Amino acid sequence: MISINFIIYICCPQFVAKEGDIVTPGTKIAVISKSASSDTSVTPSEKPSQDDPKPAALEADKAKSNVEIKEKPVVVAEIKEKPKVTSPAPAKLSASEPQLPPKERERRVPMPRIRKRVATRLKDSQNTYAMLTTFNEVDMTNLMKLRSDYKDAFLDKHGTKLGLMSGFVKAAVSGLQHLPIVNAVIDGEDIIYRDYIDVSIAVGTPKGLVVPVLRDVDKMNFADIEKTINTLAKRASEGTISIDEMAGGTFTISNGGVYGSLLSTPIINPPQSAILGMHSIVSRPVVVNGQVVPRPMMYVALTYDHRLIDGREAVFFLRRIKDVVEDPRRLLLDL
């Protein structure tokens, strides 16, 4: 008889994770291995009988039975799940956070054409110029005294009030004449020097900011300046001022002091190279001849295009404004 052994392999998984455990994608949950279960012996006759019709077939069966069955390598199974995309829960506002008003309490209106124009020009100015601002302070005592002493006689002769703006315009003219670079402008790779002085005066209106121009202001006296400013300001407020009356200009003066501004950095009015900012007059303690006394003081600011104007010229120009305003007699003596 021939003894034939059969080896049977059974896959036995070993669980790493327990039932009910929460696992994340990529975690190993089981290991699958193979093990032999038992040997099964079959004992037929030791010798084939003489009358066995198929001895060759038995030998073939024996050869087959002694071959061990081999399985492919077992791969450890791991479950990978796609991460679930969950929408975030809406944030809850705390009691301290402000509640936004409903849209019904807002109103949308078209932007006026003048506001669009102002916005475009100011943004273009910021994008083009290398703007820098320098400051100084002016003692307004003498200019205010000049106006107080001659306001009645000035009104009787010229039919208009004497204001402070005409004094600053004349001081600006003097500064532009002493430092022509402030009155110049960059054009491509060239510098254009203007031999005329047209001063733009910023005027606030209910519809927006306008800048009427005083032409050839270097040829005007105090009365001409005051009359022209009053006329242009009135027409600007009424909305009857023309485009030609606001075109051009070589230098701008903006008086934020009439609204109570103490200090500001004005933006250049293109295509000019500088702008003078006036501010409110405030009584402050100042040292005069070694004594601390109260004086009506004003901060002045000059914003200029640093590509063209150096700090030296800007400071000298603002110093010239200070000298003329603090002592208007310089204008008579050309000092």
Based on the domain organization, do 144 and 289 belong to the same domain? yes
Give the pLDDT confidence score for residue 88 in this predicted structure. 59
Q: 159 near 226, Cβ under 8 Å? A: no
How many Cβ atoms are within 10 Å of 176's Cβ, its own excluded? 23
Based on the domain organization, do 60 and 146 belong to the same domain? no
Of 131 and 103, the structure prediction assigns the larger pLDDT to 131
219-240 burial, b at 16+ Cβ within 10 Å, e below that, comes to ebebebbbebbeebbebbeeee
Of 20 and 117, the structure prediction assigns the larger pLDDT to 117
In the chain the beta strands, taken as DSSP E runs, fall at 4-15, 30-42, 131-139, 185-187, 190-192, 199-201, 203-205, 208-210, 213-214, 251-255, 274-278, 281-288, 291-305
Task: Report the chain's C-alpha Rg in angstroms.
Answer: 48
* Domain boundary residue, one of 64, 79, 103: 64
Contacts 24+ apart (CB under 8 A), 255-258: 255/165, 255/168, 255/202, 256/280, 257/281, 257/298
Q: Does the annotation count 178 as an active-site position?
A: no
Please tell me whether residue 314 adopts helix, strand or coil conformation. Answer: helix
Q: Which of 25-34, 129-138, 199-208 has the highest mean pLDDT?
A: 129-138
Confidence label for 303 from pLDDT (cuts 50, 70 and 90): very high
Q: Which residues pair with 187 in a beta bridge?
A: 190
The two beta strands, 203-205 and 4-15, are unpaired
Mean pLDDT of 153-168: 93
Q: How many residues does the structure list for the chain?
A: 335
Based on the domain organization, do 137 and 272 belong to the same domain? yes
Based on the domain organization, do 155 and 269 belong to the same domain? yes
Q: Which of 124, 152, 216, 310 is catalytic?
A: 310
Q: 331 near 175, Cβ under 8 Å? A: no
Mean pLDDT of 113-117: 83
End-to-end distance of the chain based on CA atoms, in angstroms?
Answer: 142
CATH of the domain at 123: 3.30.559.10
Place of tokens 């003078």: 276
Q: What is the pLDDT of residues 234-265, one digit of tens each?
A: 888 888 888 888 888 999 999 998 889 999 99
Would residue 209 count as lying in a domain?
Answer: yes
Based on the domain organization, do 41 and 134 belong to the same domain? no
Q: Which of 218, 306, 323, 327 is catalytic?
A: 306
Based on the domain organization, do 283 and 165 belong to the same domain? yes
Q: 296 near 257, Cβ under 8 Å? A: no
Distance CA 41, CA 2 (A): 10
Would residue 92 count as lying in a domain?
Answer: no
Q: Which residues pair with 297 in a beta bridge?
A: 139, 282
Based on the domain organization, do 156 and 275 belong to the same domain? yes
Structure tokens at 251: 């230098």
Based on the domain organization, do 43 and 186 belong to the same domain? no
Based on the domain organization, do 130 and 41 belong to the same domain? no
Q: Does the annotation count 216 as an active-site position?
A: no
Please tell me whether residue 60 adopts helix, strand or coil conformation. Answer: helix
Based on the domain organization, do 179 and 35 belong to the same domain? no
| Maximal C-alpha separation, the chain | 161
* Domain boundary residue, one of 49, 64, 79: 64
Give the pLDDT confidence score for residue 240 in this predicted structure. 87
Distance CA 226, CA 220 (A): 10
Q: What is the pLDDT of residues 118-136, one digit of tens each?
A: 888 888 888 888 999 999 9
Would residue 240 count as lying in a domain?
Answer: yes
Cα four-point dihedral sign 100, 102, 103, 106? negative
The two beta strands, 190-192 and 185-187, are antiparallel
DSSP code at position 47: S
Is pLDDT of 305 > 90? yes
Distance CA 127, CA 136 (A): 26
Structure tokens at 145: 């005294």
**pTM of the predicted structure, to 2 decimals:** 0.67
Give the pLDDT confidence score for residue 35 in this predicted structure. 53
Domain containing residue 12 = 4-64
Would residue 96 count as lying in a domain?
Answer: no
Confidence label for 315 from pLDDT (cuts 50, 70 and 90): very high
Would residue 318 count as lying in a domain?
Answer: yes
Give the pLDDT confidence score for residue 167 in this predicted structure. 93
Would residue 120 count as lying in a domain?
Answer: yes
Place of tokens 């500001």: 264
Mean pLDDT of 82-99: 60
Based on the domain organization, do 49 and 119 belong to the same domain? no
Mean pLDDT, rounded, of the chain = 81
Q: 173 near 196, Cβ under 8 Å? A: no
Would residue 285 count as lying in a domain?
Answer: yes
Based on the domain organization, do 52 and 158 belong to the same domain? no
Q: Which residues pair with 28 in a beta bridge?
A: 78
Tally the domains of the chain.
2
Q: 146 near 332, Cβ under 8 Å? A: no
Q: What is the dihedral of CA 178, 174, 288, 145, to 10 degrees?
A: 170
Would residue 79 count as lying in a domain?
Answer: no
